[in-house]
Each structure stands twice: as structure tokens, then as C-alpha cells.
Amino acid sequence: MYQFKYHKPTSLDQAAAAMSAAEDGVFLAGGMTLIPTLKARLRAPSDVIDLAGIAELDSVTDNGDSISVGALTRHASVAASTAIPALADLASQIGDAQVRNRGTIGGSVSNSDPAADYPAAVLALDATIRTTSRTIAADDFFLDLFETALDEDEIVTNVEFKKPTAAAYAKFPNPASRYAMVGVFVARFGAAVRVGVTGAGACGFRWTALEEALASNFAASAVEGAALDASEFNEDMHASSEYRAHLVRVMAEQAVAAIA
């Protein structure tokens, strides 16, 4: 691990000031990705700004038709919430107990790891990502592999999820890391349907063809006929793009069946 200056601000203004003054600063939330990266010397920031001291970012608030989750809320706290059962179920499947008690929703969403669980829920639940400077719609947030719409000095403050009529998340985890080789989140909002997919592509994405199919026939059988372009799906030692495409359909069927 390379030498760096460590900061632990107690307010968003202090965090922003520390980042502005840093030559090459980085924000630290739960550290599930950043700490291993620093230990492996794959990154050498001049300053690490630890957000853990900003108490206002750790909360789960029920707004009636939505819930707002503070950026520093641990996965375990999301898993213990009851407002959106499918979101709680998703959080309960992240990593292991140690990861769930340290990792944060803001850090996960900001990182846009292709195998992270939350992107599927962010997209399916039509979430709004609030930052220190603006609000960003879910459909505009995830751009590519480890790339989001966030500016370098922008901090996610909370994620607001719309409450669905019904929803379910189905995941095929890597047996070692428990990252999502594929995860599919299906949410109904009255007659409308949104489907978020993670693990298959460079970042989370919506499966709009399935959304349209389910809007007219909400049944697991609708999954088979929905078009799915797997030409740019991830390929690695764990699964080919074709296998991931197969898993997307299987997980979608399971999620739909759990709701139906």
C-alpha cells in the first residue's frame, strides 16, 4: 500500500473541501473495493477521504410511496428493512456477514461493479440517485464498466427507491465470492413492469423487451420469447456470454414466478 494522507470529515462540506484540496483524492465508503485495490498497489491516491464520520448519510427513511436509503447505510441495515421486501432480500444475498456489515449502498452504486447486486434494484425500482450537487435518474446513472454519471468530486448522498406493487430478485451467485454471475430484479408498478439485470453486461441494464412482454402477459412463459442481445455480455473463467444469457432467462423466470 502506497503512502497517502487520511481525512475523516464529519460533514459533506468538509469532505468536499478535502477533495478539492487533494492532488489525487478518493472517497472511502465501506472500502470493499478500494481497500483491496490499495493493498494490491493498483491505485496510489494522494488523499483518502473517509466518509464514515458523516452520520447524516446512514439512514433508511420510509416516505410512503418510496424509501430513501442514505449512502453510508450498510447492506445489513437494508437487509433488515421491511418497506420493500425484495430490496431487503437482495441486500441479504450480498457477500457474507462481514461484507454486509461493512459495505455501503452508496459505495456499491458509485462503483458500478458489473457483478454488484444493487444496480439491478436501482434500475427496476426506478430509483433516483441524489448527490451533493444534483439528482440523477436510474436510467442515466450506469454508463459502463466501473463508470457512472458521477463527476470526480460528486458524492452520492442517498438513493430513493419507488415502492412497487410487487417485486422479486433472483440471483445466480459465484460460489466463492457470492458476486452475481447474473442477477435479475423484476418489479411491477400496477400494469407497468421494469426489469433490471446485473452480472451479465459491462454494467447494470434494463431488459426492455421483457418489460414489454410482461406488461401484456405477466407469466414466466413470457421470458422465453423476449429478445435478448448477448453479443456484448461478459466472458470470463466462470461463464461464457452464452451461458450468462441462459442464466439471465432462468433468473428472470424465477423472479417472475416468485411474484406471479
pLDDT single digits (tens) 71-89? 999 999 999 999 999 999 9
The predicted pLDDT at position 173 comes to 96
Burial (CB < 10 A; 0-12, 13-18, 19+), residue 82, is exposed
Judged against a pLDDT cut of 90, whether residue 172 lies above it is answered with yes
Q: Taking residues 180-193, what's their average pLDDT?
A: 97
| pLDDT grade for 260, boundaries at 50, 70 and 90 | confident
The predicted pLDDT at position 96 comes to 93
Judged against a pLDDT cut of 90, whether residue 55 lies above it is answered with yes
The predicted pLDDT at position 200 comes to 98
The residue to which cell 436510474 is assigned: 138
Three-state DSSP state, 157: strand
What's the chain's Rg over C-alpha atoms? Answer: 18
Q: Which three cell numbers stand for residue 9?
A: 470529515
| pLDDT grade for 152, boundaries at 50, 70 and 90 | confident
Judged against a pLDDT cut of 90, whether residue 1 lies above it is answered with no
Alpha-carbon distance of 230 to 52, in angstroms, equals 39
Q: For the chain, what is the mean pLDDT? A: 96
Judged against a pLDDT cut of 90, whether residue 60 lies above it is answered with yes
Measured distance between the N- and C-terminal CA atoms of the chain, rounded to whole angstroms? 50
Alpha helix stretches (DSSP H) within 22-74: 34-39
Structural domains in the chain, CATH included, are 5-53 (3.30.43.10), 55-162 (3.30.465.10), 166-259 (3.30.390.50)
Phi, psi torsion values for 144, nearest 5 degrees: -170, -170
* Residue % of the chain over a pLDDT of 70: 100
Furthest C-alpha separation in the chain = 57
* Residue % of the chain over a pLDDT of 90: 98
The predicted pLDDT at position 219 comes to 97
